[in-house]
Structure 1
Amino acid sequence: MDERFTIRAMKKEDIEEVYEIEKMSFTAPWSKESLYYELEQNLFAKYLVVEYEGSVIGYCGLWVIMDDAQITNIAVHPDFRGRKIGEALLRFSMQLCKEMSAKRLSLEVRVSNHIAQSLYRKLGFETGGIRKNYYTDNYEDAKVMWVNLG
């Protein structure tokens, strides 16, 4: 990622753009209300955005509870995929979790999403189990993937 891209904490003003990326990225997107709740009321939530030339082009949501962290959602705008932006955002998120004293980071990913699984494995995630019928849109299973943060 070059210097035109910045990763920063998400602000309330970013939610419209994050929601648009959410809708483009997922068949069962989170609602705007859920994003507002996460940002403003969930004490365990941390949200990051990737900004490019004044626009939000990616985001990552995290829950950090004691020494466990979980990625709730992560996505990059379709026009910017394949440029290692997601990888940079995930690496940044992993470092933030370490700084917050998390020992492990987990996430769920569709069993059919091989591109995301490949990225997660590249960064040290391993499959820890399956959540049957996890996704509400088509009841697809999710892989639970974990990485020890050291």
Structure 2
Amino acid sequence: MNIEIRAYRKEDETGWVRCRVLSFLDTVYYDNVFREKERYEHPAIELVAVYENQIVGLLDIEYELEERTVCSRGTGLGGMIWHIAVHPDFRRMKIGNQLLNEAEKLAKELNLNRLEAWTRDDLWVHGWYENNGFVNVNSYLHVYSDHTDEIKGVIKSNIDQLYPVQTFAHYTGENKEEIRKQFKRVHDCFCFEKNFN
């Protein structure tokens, strides 16, 4: 199978969105849906994997020209992996590895010293990062609620007759088990980092 790894082009947008949506459906990011490709404030390495004119993989890394303007950790200039996805019909063909290898080559040419990626608690995703030289360095919680009883006493509106029904929040405290008991949908969000030597 001949997979082409190349730079993203504007005309790839529909295929990029389709690939990303399909690849996220069987992950804990199943409802993190984009209707159009994200645009970045800083420069980005944007790659796609193409098979027979179909986008079957993608990788976006926004990178720094000034320290700590994109990445949340580390020193020197880094790049943040915002999106990496492989179409479910094309998994286990090393497409993600090919995208990452090309991105790392470009990142090193740009004098970046590391990549940072945040992901949730899909263990197979953790394994992929670890197998590619990333180290789990930090975590916090993503907390969802679409249950009024969970929100009551936690979130309220200062606007008369406006009632929160659904929330998404970050919990960065130490009492993670208490949060897990209080809310039905809680995900660990892990930071994986790869330093270039």
Counterpart of 2:100 in structure 1 is 90
Q: Cα distance 1:43–1:77, how it changes in 2: closer, same or farther (>3 A)?
A: same
Helix, strand or coil: the match of 1:37? coil
Rounded to whole Å, the distance in 1 between the matches of 2:84 and 2:190 is: 15
Counterpart of 2:10 in structure 1 is 12
Question: How far did 1:29 drift?
Answer: 2.0
Task: State the identity %.
Answer: 28
Alignment of 1:137-148 (within 5 A): 138-148=185-195
- Contact kept? 2:42, 2:63, Cα under 8 Å: no
**Alignment length (residue pairs):** 142
Helix, strand or coil: the match of 1:82? coil
Alignment of 1:14-33 (within 5 A): 14-26=12-24, 27=30, 28-32=32-36
Gaps of 5+ in 2: 25-29, 66-76, 145-167, 170-184
- Relative to the length of structure 2, the TM-score reads 0.66
- Contact kept? 1:108, 1:142, Cα under 8 Å: yes
Counterpart of 1:59 in structure 2 is 58
- Relative to the length of structure 1, the TM-score reads 0.86
Larger of the two Rg values belongs to structure: 2
- Contact kept? 1:15, 1:36, Cα under 8 Å: no
Mean Cα displacement is larger for which, 98-107 or 137-146? Answer: 137-146
Counterpart of 2:140 in structure 1 is 131
Question: How far did 1:30 drift?
Answer: 2.5
Gaps of 5+ in 1: none
Alignment of 1:29-48 (within 5 A): 29-32=33-36, 35=37, 37-38=39-40, 42-48=41-47
Question: How far did 1:122 drift?
Answer: 1.2
Helix, strand or coil: the match of 2:33? coil
Question: How far did 1:25 drift?
Answer: 2.2
